[in-house]
Copies of this chain bind each other. A is one copy, B any other.
């Protein structure tokens, strides 16, 4: 299994984190987003979306973090991290969709603009002030939604850690890199701490020092 990944990509990190928690060790292949390798051959030829991560397992090529999480959890997670029952799968799916929409276009975008100075998601370069304001609105709304859920439950779905938590966790925990404070959201912070205490947990740049890119 080869995982095409970038160290500072939260979407790549989701997969590395799940692999670490499950004791799975894919071969890592670096794709430098800072050199825009994801938009050039050879990478763009096998992922036209120009996004990391990509997983290659024999003939199978998977080009989206949530698809890769599902596959690895389904194969190696003993039915715990991705369940077999469709009602339970749907409860996890609610959060995979949340990660791809609310999280990606909120805290993800704010971090890309503030800490990497890149106009995320195809936005023109002269548009960053407004883009950041919009990302901050969605970021705070997404944190309010999470705070409401996590005030009454320890994990996002099924009462245990699943790929729902893994999909939502990185960019939420990295929110301070995009100038979004987690201070007003105690239940979210407690959930972040629970994830960090899972056996096998690995970290990524920015999780402990949100300012490292602006030092």
Known contacts A60-B87, A67-B94, A70-B89; 16 further A-B pairs (Cβ under 8 A) = A48-B145, A48-B149, A49-B102, A49-B145, A62-B90, A62-B91, A66-B93, A66-B96, A70-B86, A71-B86, A74-B89, A84-B84, A105-B121, A122-B134, A123-B137, A124-B133
A140 and B122 alpha carbons, distance in the complex (Å): 10
A131 at the interface (CB under 8 A from B): yes
Q: List 28 A-B contacts (CB under 8 A).
A: A49-B98, A49-B102, A60-B87, A60-B90, A63-B94, A64-B97, A64-B98, A65-B97, A66-B96, A67-B90, A67-B91, A67-B93, A67-B94, A67-B97, A71-B86, A71-B87, A71-B89, A71-B90, A75-B86, A84-B84, A93-B96, A96-B97, A100-B100, A105-B105, A105-B121, A122-B137, A123-B134, A124-B137
Copies in the complex: 2
A residues neighboring B (CB under 8 Å): 48-49, 60, 62-68, 70-71, 74-75, 82, 84, 86-87, 89-91, 93-94, 96-98, 100-102, 104-105, 121-124, 127, 130-131, 133-134, 137-138, 141, 144-145, 148-149
| Residues in B neighbouring A62, C-beta threshold 8 A | 90-91, 94
- A127/B134 contact (C-beta < 8 A), A64-B97, A86-B75, A101-B101 known: yes
